[in-house]
Structure formats: structure tokens, C-alpha cells
Amino acid sequence: MNELTAISDLSISSREYELISRLVYDRFGINLGSKKQSLVSNRLRKVLIENKFSSFKAYYEHILNDKSGASLDILINKISTNLTYFAREQEHFNYLKDTVLPELFYRPEIARDNSLRIWCAGCSTGEEAYTLSMVMHEAAGGSRSKWKLDVLATDISARALKIAESGIYKDENVEKMQTNIKHKYFQKTDTGDWIVTNEVRNKVLFRRLNLMRSQFPFKKKFHSIFCRNVMIYFDTPTREELVKKFSANLIDEGYLFIGHSESLGRANPYFDYIRPAVYRKKA
């Protein structure tokens, strides 16, 4: 048996899984629980083989000793689940366009600045952030040019952000978009892919940011935050702490959208329940 075969035969021990899942929890808040041992093993095995680590313990120790943080970046790229798509949970975008944005556009303090900011927290490969920008454009309609409509899109995965920044997507990624929206906000590339138009791309800023930071580095508060299908990976104390930080970074009566399978409960200290997965910061 050669060395590579020996390594590929290795599976993760319970103790090794405990060490790696604790590290992922401590650094990124992701709670892998006790049932993801084979998933973690499968996702990381290639890294072990390519880098000739003799065991998961050796790999774990390498991550701890790598002061550059590069090994930790690779770990989170492999562990995080980046599933997303354009116009996911479409009712949210309809509600944003038809109710939330018109209401925000008319608030005197917002209309005075002609500026609206949405934070897409946990943006993965960018589809949600670009959809938000398109919806903001649509909602502003003919007055679009007088508004500064910005989306800040953040994620922990550098791999996902690289795809997001390119703004290039395969046919199958955009096929579910309404045809008029697709043709308005995408152009076909020479290779048959679709690229988001500059008008939209210029309004979306992608940045790497760990939601576990004790404080966020923003100068201005957001009018709305989308953090959908991210907190499902966190445990209750982590979620509660994050929701508190979201509240600190939203304007009074700003909106928080979470995933449709998630809930803050109806008695949250910072937010009022508006409709499923939509909350408004208490004034």
C-alpha cells in the first residue's frame, strides 16, 4: 500500500472530530454537533492527502501552529455550506420591494440623505446580494438616479467571495430569474455564462467578515440586514449574541430578514415580529 492510499483509508477518530469541531465552533460559531463526523472527514480528506498529513490530529495541529491563518481559511472554505441561489425565498424580495423599501424611501431622515444601505450578512457566492441590489433598483424606479443604493455583502469564505466578486454565473444559476429581470441586469459573456451588469455590480461591495467578531467595523448603520440561512448553523447563545449585534448596527425601526426556516421568537428584546422571518428593530 503506498502512502497516499494509506492516508485516503484514514477516517477521523471521535477525538479528532471533537478537536476539529470545537475549533470550528470557537472561531466561526458553526455548531457541527455530533452527527457530522463522516461529512467533516469527507470534506477534509483531500486536504490531508494533498498536504501529506498523516492523520487528522496532525492536520489539526498544523492549523493551530499556522500563524498566517491560511490553513484556517482553507478549513472554513471546506466546512462551510455555501448553498444559495438567485431570488431564493422570493416572498422576501417581493415584500422588500413592495412594502419595506417604499416605506423607507419616504422616511424623512432617509429621504433627506437619498441614501439606503442593506447588509447581506453571509452572502456566500453573491446571488442574494445581487438580487438585493436589483430589487433596490426596481423599487426606486424612475428616481433611481437620485438615490445612493448600496449593498454590503460579507462572508467568511474567501472561496465563495471570489465567485461573488466575479459576478459571473452559469446558465442554470440564472434560469429561474424572471426573464425581464435577467435581461435587464445580466449580460451574456463570450463563453455563454451570465455576468451581472456594471450598474448592479458597482453597488455591491464584497468583504470578508467573521460574524463572530465581538464588534462590527461599520461607520454607518444599515436600513436593513439580510442574514438568511446562516444562523441555522449556530447554537442559541451564538444566535442571540449575533442578533444583539445586528440590532446595534441597524437604524431604529430598520428591518432584519432571516431564513424562512429560522425564527427569533415573538418576544425578542430587540425586534418586533412583522411576518414570517421578517423583524423590525424596536424604536
Quote the least distance from Cβ 279 to ligand SAM, whole Å. Answer: 16
Rounded to whole angstroms, the Cα distance separating 268 from 190 reads: 50
Of the candidate residues 131, 133, 157, 247, the single one contacting ligand SAM (CB under 6 A): 157
CB 24 within 8 A of CB 76: yes
Rounded to whole angstroms, the Cα distance separating 221 from 116 reads: 10
Q: Which of residues 71-110 bind ligand SAM (CB under 6 A)?
A: 80-84, 88
Residue (4 or 39) nearer to ligand SAM, CB: 39
CB 105 within 8 A of CB 116: yes
Strands of the 250-258 sheet, one edge to the other = 204-208, 148-155, 115-121, 222-227, 250-258, 278-281, 271-275
CB neighbours of 83 closer than 8 A, spacing ≥ 6?
Answer: 124, 229
How many Cα atoms occupy the beta-carbon half-sphere of 180 within 13 Å?
A: 2
Of the candidate residues 12, 17, 25, 29, the single one contacting ligand SAM (CB under 6 A): 29
Q: Does 268 bind ligand SAM (CB under 6 A)?
A: no
Quote the least distance from Cβ 204 to ligand SAM, whole Å. Answer: 14
Residue nearest to ligand SAM (CB): 84
Task: Tell me how many residues contact ligand SAM (CB under 6 A).
Answer: 24
Of the candidate residues 40, 100, 200, 230, the single one contacting ligand SAM (CB under 6 A): 230
Residues that bind ligand SAM (CB under 6 A): 28-30, 80-84, 88, 122, 124, 128, 155-157, 160, 210-212, 228-230, 233, 259
